[in-house]
Amino acid sequence: MDLTIDISRLWGELETLAAYSDAPAPAVTRVLYTEVDRGARSYLKELFAQAGLAVREDALGNTFARWQGTEADLTPVASGSHIDAIPHSGRFDGTVGVLGALEAFRALTAADFAPRRSIDLILFTAEEPTRFGLGCLGSKALAGVLSPSALRALRDDEGKSPDQARREAGFGGQLEEVALPDGHYHAFVELHIEQGPLLERDGVAIGVVEAIAAPATLRLTLRGEGGHAGAVLMPQRKDALTAGAEITLAVEAAAKGSGSTDSVATVGILDVHPRAVNSIPSEVVLTADVRDIDLERRDRMVAQIREAATRVVSARGIELGLEVINADDPARCAPEVIAAVRDAATAAGVSSTPLISRAYHDASFMARICPTGMIFIPCRGGVSHRPDEYVSPAALEAGVRVLARTLARLAG
């Protein structure tokens, strides 16, 4: 099959999409159901329509753009990713899996390929945890991992539930109708940037993902005692922030001391209340994101962080609230999809290597309901979630080419 990827068209579409942002370029901020998120969705739906795809949206805003197959009774294949972006991040995370899949469809169509199975291009709602504190909202709901009642219990910083927010954003229908039955898809494959340094370092074009590591996410609430920074003497203090500082260092120490370089742990949010120069912090809320490709080692780190937090608050007279936001199992990719991606790379004449994904993706949850795989492409310096996140046009072209060939095999 002779495929022509129109990389300048795809590049232009990525640029247009990046402009739907609440942060000045090159930074991108695109939070679920905000005006820029809705604008970006409209832009994509226009592109889908131009490509002749039939669009369906579910109650959460998960969007399915279908390329009709020649044999309507076969279960369809799917590909896709997300377009939401955490504050001040970059333009390639997620978006290359959406616009890249669209370009793959167009290249296959131009090469006169007609799939036997239909192929859905899925735009997943909120892979990032920005708004409701929980990542992969859309794919978790699709996979039935996140129930309608659990969804209804979530709140954003303003106290709004996803149910209220999605209605205000114009997504009607029932949350009960979001989950897809097991076997709904024949296979799912997601194109994504590596968000790590390995492919670039080794000069390899394609990472064939074999497993996706799962984060455990904790939210710790520390309640101490406020007071005037000039008047309350040191021995009388119950400072929630000094306790939070010790716990932050304990989170780092848990990963550094795990015995494996695969262990990572991060405090990404630490909010101080009342947040005044001359006030002792009375309350601190912090999150810990703990990951490992080995589930046991990850859970050992979580246990260590719990113990350290308990020790710190008891020594400082602080009250601790500890909530496990998620603690998902790692996902294994399906051998048949792994083989399809590897063979597609070979056929396309580009190098590939097996990889473990340290970041977490919508594919983690699609793997619960169908055979799933991922295609990684290198990003500069392994940098992601930053304004300087960058993928070269050549790397992107290789990724789309391999995705197109993979889809052709899975749907052919």
Applying the rule CB under 8 A, the residues between 360 and 379 that interact with its own copies are 360
Residues 314-333 interacting with its own copies (rule: CB under 8 A): 325
Nearer to its own copies, 175 or 391 (CB): 391
In the complex, least distance from residue 357 CB atom to its own copies, rounded to whole angstroms = 8
Q: What is the DSSP string of 256-305?
A: HTSS-TT-EEE---EEEES--TTEE--EEEEEEEEEESSHHHHHHHHHHH
Which amino acid is residue 105, in one-letter code? Answer: F
Pick the stretch among 40-48, 273-281, 300-308, 400-408 that binds its own copies (CB under 8 A).
273-281
Task: Note every long-range contact of 392-395, with CB atoms under 8 Å and residues 24 or more positions apart, other chains counting.
Answer: 393/7, 393/8, 393/11, 395/205
Residue 399 as a binder of its own copies (CB under 8 A): the answer is no
CA 99 to chain centre: 16
* Structure-block tokens of residue 7: 């990389």
In the complex, least distance from residue 150 CB atom to its own copies, rounded to whole angstroms = 17
Nearer to its own copies, 118 or 304 (CB): 304
C-alpha closest to that of 379 among 130, 137, 40, 97: 97
Residue 192's DSSP bridge partners are 376
In the complex, least distance from residue 110 CB atom to its own copies, rounded to whole angstroms = 34
From the list 118, 287, 352, 364, which residue makes contact with its own copies (rule: CB under 8 A)? 287
Residue 294 as a binder of its own copies (CB under 8 A): the answer is no
Residue 365: exposure state from Cβ atoms within 10 A (0-12, 13-18, ≥19): buried
Distance CA 283, CA 214 (A): 29
CA 270 to chain centre: 21
Distance CA 356, CA 209 (A): 6
Distance CA 356, CA 262 (A): 10
Residues 218-257 interacting with its own copies (rule: CB under 8 A): 225-236, 239, 241-242, 244-246, 248-249, 252, 255-256
Distance CA 127, CA 82 (A): 6
In the complex, least distance from residue 192 CB atom to its own copies, rounded to whole angstroms = 11
Residue 275 as a binder of its own copies (CB under 8 A): the answer is yes
Nearer to its own copies, 167 or 386 (CB): 386
* Structure-block tokens of residue 61: 């805003």
Residue 81 as a binder of its own copies (CB under 8 A): the answer is no
Residues 176-215 interacting with its own copies (rule: CB under 8 A): 194-197, 213, 215
Residue 149 as a binder of its own copies (CB under 8 A): the answer is no
Nearer to its own copies, 228 or 311 (CB): 228
Residue 267 as a binder of its own copies (CB under 8 A): the answer is yes
Tokens 């992107």 belong to 396
* Structure-block tokens of residue 23: 């942060």
Which amino acid is residue 214, in one-letter code? Answer: A
Pick the stretch among 126-134, 139-147, 184-192, 345-353 that binds its own copies (CB under 8 A).
126-134
Tokens 């994904």 belong to 357
Tokens 């739907």 belong to 20
In the complex, least distance from residue 407 CB atom to its own copies, rounded to whole angstroms = 26
Which amino acid is residue 382, in one-letter code? Answer: G
Pick the stretch among 13-21, 51-59, 85-93, 200-208 that binds its own copies (CB under 8 A).
85-93
In the complex, least distance from residue 334 CB atom to its own copies, rounded to whole angstroms = 21
Residues 23-52 interacting with its own copies (rule: CB under 8 A): none
Residue 383 as a binder of its own copies (CB under 8 A): the answer is yes
How big is the CA angle at 365 (ends 328 and 125), to the nearest 5 degrees? 110
Nearer to its own copies, 97 or 129 (CB): 129
In the complex, least distance from residue 229 CB atom to its own copies, rounded to whole angstroms = 4
Beta strands in 308-390 (DSSP E): 319-327, 331-332, 352-357, 372-377
Nearer to its own copies, 73 or 158 (CB): 158
CB 11 within 8 A of CB 393: yes
In the complex, least distance from residue 84 CB atom to its own copies, rounded to whole angstroms = 11
Nearer to its own copies, 94 or 373 (CB): 94
Q: How many residues bind its own copies (CB under 8 A)?
A: 72
From the list 38, 184, 273, 297, which residue makes contact with its own copies (rule: CB under 8 A)? 273
In the complex, least distance from residue 390 CB atom to its own copies, rounded to whole angstroms = 13
In order of 67, 126, 190, 409, the CA distances from 337 in angstroms are 20, 25, 11, 10
From the list 115, 133, 207, 224, which residue makes contact with its own copies (rule: CB under 8 A)? 133
